[in-house]
Structure 1
Amino acid sequence: MGIADQTDHDPWPSPLFRDIVEELQTFNRRKTNIYPHAILEASAFAILLVLADGRARTLRELTEELELEQSTVNRQVNSAINHGYLERFEVPGSVSRMIRPTPAGQEAFEHDGQLRVERLNRVFDDLAPGTPEGLLRELRAFNQAYQRTVDRSTERSLR
């Protein structure tokens, strides 16, 4: 195909796919994890979000759930421990120590979680007619389908 034959959406099959990729890139570039008056660093909030179900985790479990390198998670956990937001504790019969929030970590997580809720409420007030429920439904379906696609690609490449 010559330059004169190219369209404004090349290499995409249509402008729709180009626009979706652009919107996803815009979302990724946004500093959605920066909040004025936040207590926690973004990494500490992410760890506390995983632990918000009330179940302590090992470093390996956090690494898997956060989908980061173990050295990165270890550094982030150590930082959060140094700030008093997390603690490690021994479990009888287990070689691995567990990680859980401290009361200060739980309080900071609740504070920073409320900042996120307030921002989302303002966004949805501006977005009308969109709804949080609609966005959650579509994002969840997209993320699940995306993960299935990645998993199938990984399985094929391992064969």
Structure 2
Amino acid sequence: MSSESYGEVWSSPVHHGLVDELLRMRRRRNGVFDGAILDTSAFHILWLLADGEARTLRDLADGLCLEQSTVNRQVNAAIKRGYVERFEVVGQTSRLHRPTDEGQHAFEHDGHLRAERLEKVFADLAPGTPEALLAELRAYNDAFDRQTRGDAR
């Protein structure tokens, strides 16, 4: 797309710039951390399970905003590596998933690596603060969710 056509698509240079920055963030979501135990998909699965609530495959797919077949493949890989276990609940047709002790340990290890990286980024964040960034991102995501719920109607 040529720079002249940006004006035909985006209502302002700010909107174009925001999309560009959001795409930069998205490219980093699968970043590898030196010393990490987990691959990115296992970390994301364990992130959802970190609240202590077991989930079905459908719950995980919804939480990750991925196709169930993709999540099934990722969960099976995490199970094979010993990070997640699948179990049955009497009276429920869908099996549930939860972290194993090994998965919990790996998640905490990798979580510390990610937290250390964020601390370094926040120390270099200028102008701005982590609190302001959190408030703006939360407000953006809330507004986006409200709009996409409206689109579904």
- The aligned residue for residue 125 of structure 1 is 123
Match 2:24 to one of 23, 26, 39: 26
Mapping 1:71-90, distance limit 5 Å: 71-90=69-88
Distance across 2 between alignment mates of 1:8 and 1:68 = 31
Mean CA deviation greater in 40-49 or 130-139: 130-139
Q: What is the rounded CA distance, in whole Å, between the counterparts of 1:79 and 1:107 in structure 2?
A: 17
What is the match of residue 57 of structure 2? 59
Rg larger for:
1
Q: Match for 1:112: what amino acid?
A: D
Unaligned runs of 5+ in 2: none
Q: Which residue of 1 aligns with 2:96?
A: 98
Task: Flag the 1:25–1:50 CA change in 2: closer, same or farther, 3 A.
Answer: same
Q: Secondary structure at the match of 2:11?
A: coil
The runs of 5 or more residues in structure 1 that have no matched partner are 1-5
What is the root-mean-square deviation in Å for CA atoms of aligned residues? 1.7
Alignment TM-score, normalising by the size of structure 1 = 0.87
Deviations 1:89-110 (Å, cap 9, x if unpaired)? 1111112111000000000000
3-state DSSP class of the match of 2:86? strand
Which secondary structure does the structure 1 equivalent of 2:7 belong to?
Answer: coil
| Superposed displacement of residue 29, structure 1 | 2.2
3-state secondary structure, aligned to 1:146? helix
State the match for 1:10 in structure 2: 7
Aligned to 1:113: 111
State the TM-score, normalizing by the size of structure 2. 0.90
Q: Which amino acid aligns with 1:10?
A: G
1:134 aligns with 2:127: no
How many residue pairs get aligned? The number is 150
CA contact (8 A) 2:46 2:107 kept: yes
Which digits, 9 at most, give the CA deviation of each residue in 1:42-90, with x for residues without a partner?
A: 0100000000100001111111111111111110000000000000111
For residue 128 of structure 1, report the CA deviation from its aligned partner: 3.4
Amino acid at match of 1:86: V
Structure 1 residues 42 and 32, CA gap change in structure 2 (3 angstroms) = closer
